[in-house]
């Protein structure tokens, strides 16, 4: 489950609870990445072509926002498949986001025109992707960062060699980049909690000037 921790002590408590669920000799690595505060979306590709995009909704049913997602330049309409085989079907999870700079411009313009002023980039992103006119969504200059693969299917004929699928979360990030997706570079594969804390402190230094 997604548990928030707010101190080093809570982080070590979390690890102790987690290791109780594993066998005694289990080797544990950690993958660190930053969490964007935007709108979580799922993208469906069939034979490398983007066919549908939806919000997360209640976890089972979301809103179809395909046409608006097509206006985001960092969402490929066709998968590139650099040095890998293109799957017959893949569902990609990621975050649609608006930069702080874009929000400032949008709010200044909306204020002059007597329109809605957004409280934060998350609300602005959600509002942009729920526009009925895709042209209005395109004007919002949204971005997209992929972070997970929910489903992956290769339609191989019988007897074909097995295609190596990503097994760990870090391998998924590498795979997503090869498919042509933007993945945030602030990530790290860590062997222990000390390395995780180094990652956290490193990001804390750049966070004030981070564009999102």
DSSP for residue 162: P
- The pLDDT assigned to 8 comes to 94
pLDDT tens for the 212 residues of the chain, in order: 567 889 999 999 999 998 899 987 888 899 999 999 999 999 999 999 999 999 988 878 889 999 999 999 999 999 987 778 889 999 999 999 999 999 999 999 999 999 989 999 999 999 999 888 888 888 889 999 999 999 999 876 555 555 678 889 999 999 999 999 999 999 999 999 999 999 999 999 999 999 99
Is 71 within 8 Å of 134 (Cβ atoms)? yes
The Cα 103–Cα 25 span in angstroms is 49
46 included as an active-site residue: no
DSSP state of 209: G
Rounded CA separation 60/74 (Å): 25
What's CA 118's distance to the chain center, in Å? 22
pLDDT for 162 = 54
Q: How many CB atoms neighbour CB 158 within 10 A?
A: 4
CB 97, CB 38: distance < 8 Å: yes
Strands (E), 34-171: 39-46, 49-55, 89-97, 143-153
pLDDT at residue number 56: 86
Choice among 20, 27, 35, 112 that is catalytic: 35
> Which of 147, 210, 192 is CA-nearest to residue 11?
192
Instruction: Decide if 47 contacts 77 (C-beta within 8 A).
Output: no
pLDDT tens for each residue of 8-52: 999 999 999 988 999 878 888 999 999 999 999 999 999 999 999
């Amino acid at each position: 489950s997604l548990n928030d921790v707010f101190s080093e002590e809570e982080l070590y408590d979390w690890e102790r609870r987690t290791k109780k669920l594993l066998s005694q000799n289990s080797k544990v690595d950690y993958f660190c990445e930053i969490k964007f505060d935007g709108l979580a979306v799922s993208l469906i590709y069939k034979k490398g072509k983007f066919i549908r995009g939806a919000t997360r909704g209640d976890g089972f049913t979301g809103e179809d926002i395909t046409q608006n997602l097509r206006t985001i330049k960092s969402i490929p309409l066709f998968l590139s498949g650099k040095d890998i085989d293109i799957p017959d079907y893949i569902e990609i999870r990621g975050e649609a986001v608006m930069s702080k700079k874009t929000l400032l411009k949008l709010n200044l313009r909306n204020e002059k025109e007597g329109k809605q002023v957004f409280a934060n980039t998350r609300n602005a992103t959600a509002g942009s992707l729920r526009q009925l006119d895709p042209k209005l969504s395109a004007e919002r200059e949204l971005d997209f960062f992929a972070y997970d693969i929910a489903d992956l299917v290769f339609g191989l004929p019988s007897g074909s060699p097995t295609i190596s699928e990503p097994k760990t979360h870090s391998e998924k990030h590498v795979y997503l980049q090869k498919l042509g997706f933007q993945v945030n570079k602030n990530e790290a594969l860590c062997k222990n909690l000390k390395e995780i804390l180094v990652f956290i402190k490193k990001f804390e230094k750049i966070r004030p000037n981070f564009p999102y």
